[in-house]
Amino acid sequence: MSAASPILSSAPGCTDAPVLRQRGQREVFCGLTGIVWLHRKIQDAFFLVVGSRTCAHLLQSAAGVMIFAEPRFATAILDERDLAGLADANDELDRVVARLLERRPDIRMLFLVGSCPSEVIKLDLSRAAQRLDRAGNGDVRVLYYSGSGIETTFTEGEDACLAALVPEMPAATDSKPSLLIVGSLAEVVEDQMLRLFSAMGIDDVRFLPPRRARDLPPVGRGTRMLLAQPFLANTARALEARGATHLPAVFPLGAEGTTLWLRAAADAFGVSPARFHDATSAAEDRARRSLAPLRETLAGKTLFLFPDSQMEISLARFLAREVGMIPIEVGTPYLHRSHLGPELALLPRDSRLSEGQDVELQLDRCRDAQPDLVLCGLGLANPLEAEGFTTKWSIETVFTPIQGYNQAADLAELFARPLRRRARLMV
Amino acid sequence: MQLAVWTYEGPPHVGAMRIADAMRGLHYVLHAPQGDTYADLLFTMIQRNERRPPVTYTTFQARDLGSDTADLFRRAVLDSHARFKPEAMLVGASCTAELIQDDPGGLAKSLGLPIPVVAVELPAYQKKENWGAAETFYQLVRAFARRDVAKRTEGRPLCNILGPCSLGFRHRDDIIEVQNLLASIGVDVNVVAPLGASPTDLSRLGAAQFNVVLYPEIAGTAAAWLQRNFAQPATRVVPIGVGATRDFIAEVAQLAGLPVPHTTESRLPWYSRSVDSTYLTGKRVFIFGDATHAIAAARVASEELGFQVVGLGTYSREFARDVREAAAKYGVEPLITDDYLDVEAAIAAAQPELVLGTQMERHVAKRLGVPCAVISAPVHVQDFPARRSPQMGMEGANVLFDTWVHPLMMGLEEHLIGMFREDFEFHDGAAPSHLGHAATAAARPEVVVPLSVAEEAPAELWTAEAERELKKIPFFVRGKARRNTERFAQERGLRSINVEALYDAKAHYSR
């Protein structure tokens, strides 16, 4: 990123904006939900939640009935005997894991995933993972992370999972610069990014998470990490501890967003402006052209974002700058200023930022604001529609490939379609 | 610890939510961490509710533990009382809050709210969703049913309808059907609960002379208590199917002291007798669901459609005895389990031609390439159709006929395939047009399920000629033919199966 970039000018946008913080009911998923996309992303990994029937029910309700293939996740449901100490938790876990691996011999990496109950009763799943790992004779790597709702919100589950992978990454053998893209992206997006980096002459590009658990990229002093998702605070910290350098950038949403994101890497790898322009301008122009018709639907429309995935600030920046929407309130479960600094600088100054939630008070603000479009979770969408609001489910921004130039219009379309639909219906 | 891929039932506090959401004027304050708020989407997305369920969660976090989780709970109770002004409040804990032992009931009572507060203790590590719903409904009935309400003694008989609630399988439509049925017999309805009832409505339960229990899983506990304390007998027959509906009418008439009326008829008996239905005879059907729907489905399948029940099971352990009795009647081994993998294995082993199950069995049936109709919760958004689609009463029986028969090959289609089986367009993948999506599904290679029971016998058992002959048999009966022939060969100690053995087996098994 060049020094002339508007992002680094003094306190632009929402950099110094006050943040509304309220404490009440939070209407969000827990970190276990990340399993729903992580198990598809890392194709030889299995996620075993050690928790309650509620955890199993959450996973199946958040995704279960939508997925028709056999999932690579399951829950070891704790019962009374486990809680009363009548059953040895380790023996029970061994039994469950043995049954699982017998059924799925293709599994190469098993995550034991902690839950609210396992954390509250202080079940030491970290040690259990080490023990099972040794017992597995290297056939199956067993790792632990917590996706509990008392510690993690929705996408933080991915952060915890990726952070657990960091110690497993091999050490880089030299300090030659290499680029590490961190955060789950759809494969189609990864491939597009690889082509763009290749056109700039950056060829050593790896992804975390990898498609196969055993293909973990190396990390070391030469590693330059570019975050693809805004919710990876712990993963980034763990990678920094292993020598990686964080490249601050906005996230690759939209034409402008993708260019700024790519440029952060280009600058770090000394790519000349001319070469960067040659590599990206055609794709950026195409993305801008594809956004033009969507701008007609979205420009001037007001937007209210309930906190959910931590992507809200990036989404609001994209929707405001590239299709002309007006964010009234931008809610996020957590605000990581260090990773979101470049985003905040680009966010319209009069957007209200809120962190955390009292859902009742926030609904009141939403009703007062009468936005044209509301981004919210599945629990709120239909009730708000019934009140006359137009909504978009936030979970779709997590499950849909939206990053990169070629997906910019798809992302805008997610927001345009509910508005067009409402305009079309005559009943 | 139990390994669960899918679960048939959620935790018991979700059962309590189903009662709270069904009722009016009741608000549920649930001590629970933030992730538990996922349960709202069951109501807003699956049931397409136009309002949020009346539930407030405390959403405590790790940093609150050991310090002020109790205070969080108190504040949630006070705030939700001020905001929603309910007639009464329900308080309780989810699985995680149960572990921190804050005593929601005691905390709520200490606040001295001007409304009744009912505390429900739902042991999350022992019990499940339906039990939670039954217990919650029972506690509410106990708390609100007034003993000073006079029982109607004159005029038309009066009953309550108990059991319908949120996220129930077609409960919404069943009530309309059952209310019409009762009206046609000459019985008045006092209170329908929990669906649509307020705490005040529950106070009037005692005016009725008897209770109609539609879903014993939900209302059984409350009805038993009302029987003991209010001398209200309860119906035992669940009116699913023509025969059960006739029995139900007779039972209600008897409880109401009325003559058994001439009943309005369903189309099912005639449709089942119509020649087109001949092909339904002896279709192998595997049934799994909650106890009420599974038992009822077995009777309809066997007595009213002429199917052969080859499997019967339930995930409702509380009603295992009833299902065992029913299974004995059909000569099948009862399957009492809430382990989806066990059900999957049992279905594969039974090789049914139709599966009647829950949404889970729909997945299994799809994998095995067997038609399936859904008869029971757990529910899916498709189980809340826009049209009325009851399971109970005479219209319910019509719905059952359509829903169970449509996934099958139709009568004339079966004959056509038999006649044209050499025609290249009548290949295995060509499903009938009315099952449009099935055609593509069958054309795709099946996902391989690692089940020993599904494995085919070693190829060398069949001679090439016999294998070719087997392929001439229509694909929807080919599995049965292969299975029978192999059993026949095994019983006779044949080392290989040739064309003669194939037809010997056919002759042996034809009846």
Measure the CA–CA gap between B16 and B50, rounded to whole angstroms: 19
Residues of chain A in contact with residue B56, where contact means CB-CB under 8 angstroms, are: 25
Query: Looking at the partner chain, which of A30, A52, A120 has a beta carbon nearest the beta carbon of B11?
Result: A52
CB contact under 8 A, B4 and A53: yes
Using a CB-CB cut-off of 8 Å, the residues of chain A touching B11 are 52-54, 57
Our CA dihedral for B126, B128, B131, B137, rounded to 10 degrees, sits at 110
Among A151-165, B151-165, B367-381, the minimum mean pLDDT is found in B367-381
Q: Do B1 and A83 touch (CB under 8 A)?
A: no
Q: Looking at domain B12-127, which CATH architecture does it have? A: 3-Layer(aba) Sandwich (3.40)
> What's the whole-number average pLDDT of chain B?
90
Residues of A in contact with B341 (CB under 8 A): 103
pLDDT at residue A344 is higher than 70: yes
For B101, which DSSP code?
Answer: T
C-beta atoms of B33 and A116 within 8 A: yes
Cβ of A77 within 8 Å of Cβ of B447? The answer is: no
Identify the residue among A33, A35, A54 best suited for mutation to test binding to B, counting B beta carbons within 10 A and taking the highest.
A54
Q: Exactly one of B68, B71, B79, B276 is catalytic; which is it?
A: B276
- Cβ partners under 8 Å of residue B52, min gap 6: A379, A380, A383, B40, B43, B44
Residues 6+ apart with CB under 8 A from A103: B341, B450
In contact, A59 and A186? CB cutoff 8 Å? no
Q: Which residue among B1, B359, B449 sits closest to A79, beta carbon to beta carbon?
A: B1
Element (H, E) at B50: none
Strands (DSSP E) found in B246-362: 284-289, 308-314, 334-336, 354-357
Contact between residue B445 and residue B311 where contact means Cβ atoms under 8 Å apart: no
Tell me which of A21, A22, A28, A65 to substitute to probe the interface with B (most B C-beta atoms closer than 10 Å): A65
B421 pLDDT tier (thresholds 50, 70, 90): low
Summarize pLDDT for A57-80 with one digit per residue, the tens.
999 887 654 555 667 899 999 999
pLDDT exceeds 50 at position B454? no
User: How many angstroms separate the CA atoms of B475 and B483, rounded?
Assistant: 13
Average pLDDT value for residue range B293-307? 98
- The answer to whether the beta carbons of residues B299 and B305 sit under 8 Å apart is no
Predicted local confidence at residue B414, as pLDDT: 63
Could you name the CATH architecture of B268-415?
3-Layer(aba) Sandwich (3.40)
Q: Would you state the pLDDT for residue A67?
A: 54
Q: What letter does residue B211 receive in the DSSP assignment?
A: E
Q: What angle do CA B89, B92, B94 make, to 5 degrees?
A: 140
Mark whether B338 is an active-site residue.
no
Kindly tell me if the per-residue pLDDT of B424 is higher than 70: no
- Of A103-107, B134-138, B456-460, the range with the lowest mean pLDDT is B456-460
- In this predicted structure, the answer to whether residue B429 has a pLDDT above a threshold of 80 is no
Q: Is A91 in CB contact (< 8 Å) with chain B?
A: no
Query: Sorting pLDDT into bands at 50, 70 and 90, what band is B478?
Result: confident
Q: Across chain A, what does the average pLDDT equal?
A: 93
- Predicted pLDDT of residue B453: 36
- B390 or A61, which is more confident: B390
CATH class given for the domain over B158-256? alpha beta
Ordered alpha helix ranges (H), A42-172: 53-62, 80-83, 89-103, 116-120, 125-135, 156-165
* Mutation for A interface: B44, B47, B449, most A CBs within 10 A: B44
| Ranges of each domain in chain B | 12-127, 158-256, 268-415, 454-509
Q: Where are the alpha helices (DSSP H) in B314-457?
A: 320-330, 340-350, 359-368, 393-405, 411-419, 436-443
- pLDDT of B86-139, one tens digit each? 999 999 999 999 999 999 999 999 999 999 999 999 999 999 999 999 999 999
Structure confidence at residue A221 (pLDDT):
96
Mean pLDDT lowest among A91-95, B233-237, B476-480: B476-480
Please check the confidence at residue A129 and state whether its pLDDT lies above 60. Answer: yes
- Each residue's pLDDT tens digit, A270-292: 999 999 999 999 999 999 999 99
**Cis geometry, peptide bond prior to residue B104 (ω within 30 degrees of 0):** no
Query: CA-to-CA distance for B16 and B290, rounded, in angstroms?
Result: 18
B12 vs B10: CA distance, rounded Å = 7
Name A17's Cβ contacts closer than 8 Å, sequence gap at least 6. Answer: A344, A347, A349, A351, A353
3-state secondary structure of B356: strand
B424 vs A: CB within 8 A: no
ipTM of this predicted complex?
A: 0.93
* % of chain A surpassing 90 pLDDT: 83
Chain B residues within an 8 Å CB radius of A53: 4, 7, 9-11, 95, 124, 128
Q: Pick the residue with more confidence: B32 or B381?
A: B32
- Give CA–CA dist A152/A131, Å, rounded: 25
pLDDT tens for each residue of A176-215 = 999 999 999 999 999 999 999 999 999 999 999 999 988 9
Closest-CA distance of chain A to residue B169, Å: 16
Asked if B452 has any chain A CB less than 8 Å from its own CB, the reply is: no
* Cα–Cα distance for residue pair B298/B391, rounded to 1 Å: 14
Chain A residues whose CB is inside 8 A of the B62 CB are 119, 148, 150-151
pTM, 2 dp: 0.91
Distance in angstroms (rounded) separating the CA atoms of residues A323 and A392: 16
So what's the pLDDT on residue B452? 36
User: What interhelical angle do A312-323 and A337-346 show, nearest 10?
Assistant: 20
Q: What is the pLDDT of residue B480?
A: 77
pLDDT of residue B503: 87
What is the model's pLDDT at position A5?
A: 45
Chain A CB contacts of B40 below 8 Å: 27, 378-380
Tens digit of each residue's pLDDT (9 = 90 or more) over B308-325: 999 999 999 999 999 999
Q: Per the CATH hierarchy, to which homologous superfamily does domain B454-509 belong?
A: Proto-chlorophyllide reductase 57 kD subunit B (1.10.8.550)
Distance CA(A380)–CA(A413), nearest Å, equals 21
Residue A29's CB is within 10 A of a number of other CB atoms, namely 33
Q: Is B36 annotated as a binding residue?
A: yes
Helix (H) or strand (E) holding A366: helix A359-369
Could you report the per-residue pLDDT of A6-21, keeping only the tens digit for each? 444 467 889 889 999 9
Q: Please state the rounded mean pLDDT for residues A141-155.
A: 95
Measure the CA–CA gap between B400 and B238, rounded to whole angstroms.
15
Helix A125-135 / helix A89-103 crossing angle, nearest 10 deg: 50
By CA distance, what is A75's nearest residue in B? B4
- Option in A93, A149, A381 nearest B35 (CB): A149
Contact in structure between A79 and A131 (CB atoms under 8 Å): no
Asked, colleague to colleague, whether B12-127 and B158-256 share their fold, the answer is: yes
